[in-house]
Amino acid sequence: MPTPAATRAPLRIDGATLRLVRLPLVTPFTIATGTLTEKVFPLLTLRADGLEGHAEGVMDPLPDYLEETVAGAMDLLATALIPQVLGQRFAHPESLARRFAPWRANFMARATVEMAFWDLWAKSLDLPLQAVLGGEGDAVDVGVSLGIGPVAGTLDRVAAHLAQGYRRIKLKVKPGHDIGLLQAVRKDFPDAHLTVDANCCYTLADSDLIRRMDEFALDYIEQPLAWDDIHDHATLQQRIRTPLCLDECIRTVDHARKALQTDAARVVNIKVGRSGGHTAARQIHDLCQAWQVPVWCGGMLESGIGRAHNIHLSTLPNFTKPGDTSSASRYFSRDIVEEKLECVNGRMPVPRGPGIGVTLDLDYLKSATLSAQDFTV
């Protein structure tokens, strides 16, 4: 529910800009399904009353994380989602999200519009996004997600990030790059908070192998099985001691409810950009809190715009495990926002100011923009 202070006369969306942006990654990022060397994403700006709200889409160019793609989302945004809200008045972001209710799935594309409106709406109230979401605090605990690479190099990266104060290390795994990696890392770092993320690359036929991960005292195992299979995760949880954490499987509040009811997730990774936006992300957060299931905020290698959204969301009370929102400089040599989003001793400061608290670096954004389309009423 909106807090009493967070109400206002309806805002009319009187313009929008949809850009396709490309940023090179400092180092390639490899997960079980493939390697990213650059980040290509839709960046949406919504306008009202002389204010602007921003958000980015978290889909990949290929449907290798979930089914959405950058090209598909750009088309859906331009032909359906943006026209559905342009010229319309909304008193609250929840009423905007309802405009998309008749349509199926496409939660990342929907989230792009919904999150841009949350930023705009918070700015219209002159409040930080965290305040209108119901979060508090100046900084959030974070860890890092380390992509797949040679074991020796991974050991060096684990050491370097622990030395920087990161609160947990998440290792990407895949068949053939799992037990041996864990043996090496656990031997050198006996006390580190360690997790693994399989990005859906195992099946129930690998239950014995996954059970061997119990001996490494992992905080949790993230998304070992198929992206759409809560049921099989529930079966797997009966066979292992380590808590399961779901990522890809949780795209709606209903998915979260089913996972909790079947004991398929004892931890939940909430990604606002994967779940239709802040309204649904907060509902998933609240539901997990009621079940006493801890959550943490995942990431999708976002630019400063998506990163700032993630940080604000992470200030809600049930985000009790370190998230993936690490320093922007780990991903990009230059970001499209003016502010530096850098961790201090494993804590990411919350950007100050209204809305998401970051501003576009328009010069650099221009050079990183592949296409731009303006929408007016």
The nearest distance, CB 94 to ligand OSB, in angstroms, is 27
Size, binding site for Mg ion by CB under 5 A = 3
| Binding test (CB under 5 A) with Mg ion, winner from 114, 141, 197, 324 | 197
Residue of 317, 311, 297, 325 lying closest to 358 (CA atoms): 311
Give Cα 263 to chain centroid, integer Å.
23
Residues shown for the chain: 377
The nearest distance, CB 264 to Mg ion, in angstroms, is 15
The verdict on whether 340 is a catalytic residue reads no
Q: 342: how many CB neighbours lie within 10 A of its CB? A: 12
Candidate ranges 103-111, 118-126, 225-233, 298-306; the one touching ligand OSB (CB under 6 A): 298-306
Phi first, then psi, for residue 77 (nearest 5°) are -60, -50
User: Do the Cβ atoms of 331 and 314 come closer than 8 Å?
Assistant: no
Which residues, in sequence order, are CB contacts of 282 under 8 Å at separation 6+? 133, 134, 313, 316
Phi first, then psi, for residue 274 (nearest 5°) are -95, -15
Q: Is the Cα torsion angle 89, 95, 101, 107 positive or negative in sign?
A: positive
Q: 75: how many CB neighbours lie within 10 A of its CB? A: 12
Instruction: Transcribe 110-176 into DSSP letters.
Output: HHHHHHHHHHHHHHHTT-BHHHHHT---SEEEB-EEEPS--HHHHHHHHHHHHHTT-S-EEEE-BTT
Q: How wide is the angle at C-alpha 251 spanned by C-alphas 246 and 256, nearest 5°? A: 60
256 vs 300 by CB, closer to ligand OSB: 300
What residues between 313 and 352 interact with ligand OSB by CB under 6 A? 324, 326
> Per-residue string for binding with ligand OSB, 26-65, x by CB under 6 A?
-----x---------------------------------x
CA distance 71 to 154: 33
CA distance 140 to 88: 35
The nearest distance, CB 104 to Mg ion, in angstroms, is 23
219 vs 222 by CB, closer to Mg ion: 222
The verdict on whether 321 is a catalytic residue reads no
Annotated active-site residue in 39, 170, 271, 321: 271
What residues between 194 and 253 interact with ligand OSB by CB under 6 A? 197, 199, 247
Residue of 309, 311, 335 lying closest to 322 (CA atoms): 311
Residue of 217, 215, 233, 238 lying closest to 269 (CA atoms): 233
Beta bridge partners of 54: 45
| Binding test (CB under 6 A) with ligand OSB, winner from 13, 300, 348, 350 | 300
Annotated active-site residue in 123, 172, 321, 366: 172
Size, binding site for ligand OSB by CB under 6 A = 12
94 vs 247 by CB, closer to Mg ion: 247
227 vs 364 by CB, closer to ligand OSB: 227
Which residues, in sequence order, are CB contacts of 4 under 8 Å at separation 6+? none
| Binding test (CB under 6 A) with ligand OSB, winner from 143, 276, 298, 351 | 298
Q: Among Mg ion, ligand OSB, none, what binds residue 41 when CB lies within 5 to 8 Å by partner kind?
A: none
- Measured from each CB, the residue nearest to ligand OSB is 299
Q: H or E element: which one contains 278?
A: helix 278-290
| Binding test (CB under 6 A) with ligand OSB, winner from 112, 145, 195, 314 | 145
| Binding test (CB under 5 A) with Mg ion, winner from 219, 247, 302, 324 | 247
Which residues, in sequence order, are CB contacts of 362 under 8 Å at separation 6+? none
Candidate ranges 6-14, 134-142, 182-190, 240-248; the one touching Mg ion (CB under 5 A): 240-248
| Binding test (CB under 6 A) with ligand OSB, winner from 42, 135, 224, 299 | 299
- Measured from each CB, the residue nearest to Mg ion is 247
Q: Among Mg ion, ligand OSB, none, what binds residue 324 when CB lies within 5 to 8 Å by partner kind?
A: ligand OSB
Contact status: 68 vs ligand OSB (CB under 6 A)? no
Residues annotated as catalytic (active site), given as ranges: 172, 271
